[in-house]
Structure 1
Amino acid sequence: MLFNVEHDHESVIEGYLIPDGFSEEASILVTRDDGTAIVFPCEQPRPAVVESRRHATGMVGFRIDESRMPDLASQRRLVIQDAKTGLLIYRRPPVDKPVPLKLLRLELNIVPMLKFDAYCGRQFQYAISAVERFGHETTLQAFHLNAETSVYISGRLLLRNYEDFLDKGFKVIADIPDPYYEMACRLFILKRLAKGPVTFLGDRDRLILTPAAEHFAEINLEDEKAIKRALKKAPDKVKSVLISPITRQFVCTYPEQRVTRRDVAPAISTLSRFVVVGHGGYHAHFQEAVGELLSLPPMDIPIIPRHSVLEELAERLREMPIAELMLEEDLIFDHYVRQAFAPRAAPRGAPQQ
């Protein structure tokens, strides 16, 4: 999906929305400050879109003016979305002083930090979370919103595909999970996926994870021997969703790509370009650093708490050589991250990982 607002002159807004379907009719949902909404079809022809074979009719442009919405100029918090998917196309600033940054939060957890994104995203003019659900083209479009100076993107992306944007004004933050705890989370999510849909997973994720979900469907995650057997007997397409997923996000360009020890150094080099890095359970440091970056109260920034059941599973995984082998690159990567954090005194009561 391609989209953009070319200008907003208060009483006139013009832009375009090119849907995924070649012959699909595009429409936008415009929401006023009071919450009422109107659907407008995209009726402005864009011949170049037809010439480039992006859409059958080229009817993908939209123009909103006071003849269609008489109170348009007075709508300070107006929001424009794709009527079909709800994808944010454009909005007037949701706060009086939006954060003047282009920021990517690289999601490295299988379980997304949705409350964190909801809170931080409200501080930016444009925001999109769990962007990997919308596919590569839509993700690129979000990065290409050149007219916007306040942009918040979060997602479990393969960063190598978007690394060029780090040279085009984007700052990156990430909270790096403990590798064993992340493996525990993935096994837990695979068990849930075997029973039914997991709402925060996109279509591509479900396709990739389904074989692994089927493999672990009947495995008791409290049975250490059963977990060991399942990990050892897992076919390659199952193992691929568990093998060093953190390192892979830094260096791979497609989901099936494998990593080796040689990839750890490039991953660390890329991490060195981030403006804020959190690690494991040290939430206070991450909250304080993000709060300072965004000029927000640190304690208002939501963080996902660690769950005791998953911590217990992570401890069981630490004792399994097969789990260590599968996480080899992530464990080396994690070692160097820990070394970087070592000079900072951990607060009393912080988890010793």
Structure 2
Amino acid sequence: MNTAKHQPPEIRPAGTSRPTDVITARGLRRVYGRGKDAFEAVGGIDLQVSEGEVFALLGTNGAGKTSTLDMLEGLVAPSAGSVEVFGLDPLRHRGEVRPQIGIMLQSGGLPAELTVLETLEMWRGTCTAPTTTDSVLERVGLADRANVRVGSLSGGEQRRVDMACALLGQPRLLFLDEPTTGLDPESRRRTWGLLAELKSTGVTMVLTTHYLDEAEALADRIVIMHKGAVARAGTLREIVDGHPARIVFDHPGLPLPQLRDAQVDARARVTVTTHDLQGHLSEVLEWAREHGLRLGGLEARAASLESVFLDIADDTDAADGSSDIPETTDELIGARR
């Protein structure tokens, strides 16, 4: 079997792409339906993913994240705007782009009756220039489970089979949809290590995850989508800088201290929203000492990706909990093969 490393086609010059851009999207828009029943899932966003970086695409409910991924992966055409992957249209130039991409679905839907080895050999046959199944099994920690039927694996082990399938083609660009869902903490950390190893070899990754600590740990840049638009974008520090910290404690039943340049929400739990965490925390502690109080449930929380994300999700105009309009299962499985 041919295990030679895949030689990618030459990247064509394109008007909107820089040489280091693996993905460029301009004015990307996705509309479902027509007329008065039309629904705009993605409302004209711009994205760039540079070579060798881990790019986290996060989103609140109904944000348009899934629709965006479908367009980036070349599964559907944008309603407007453009997408380039390696300088090419991923839908029109599918034959040139697809061999360079690995996709780990949120749910792989692999045949339960096949063994892990049989599954990977089957998947290997669809790849242009695959690596060996043995090397991939070793990488994802399933070498000792090769002869076990997929249906008999734990949920976490099945996710590792999904990862193995995505790596078989030696991709230059890897789409990872919830890669650690169902994994125990040890397996999750091992997956993080594998992704860091792949990054060190120059593999570019687009990561979606509900684990915000995962995005914090792995991503070079982060985009948070909300209601079809990009709500925040940048490095972790760029996203959290300027976002307020919080001091929280149980209400002691006394008049609270006056804290200049801070917002105080006084309920059963007092929440102080501040851009000067150290200064205002010192004032609160001094006030408590003067009154002989021990503040129950005291917490001081610096700005984090979670606090930014939750503030975006708590927007009063947020979507009503519906998720992106999905393709059918058959359409997704067929398109991603």
TM class by smaller structure: under 0.3
**Higher radius of gyration, 1 or 2:** 2
Relative to total residues, which structure has the larger strand share, 1 or 2?
2
Structure-1-length-normalised TM-score: 0.23
TM-score normalised by the chain length of structure 2 = 0.24
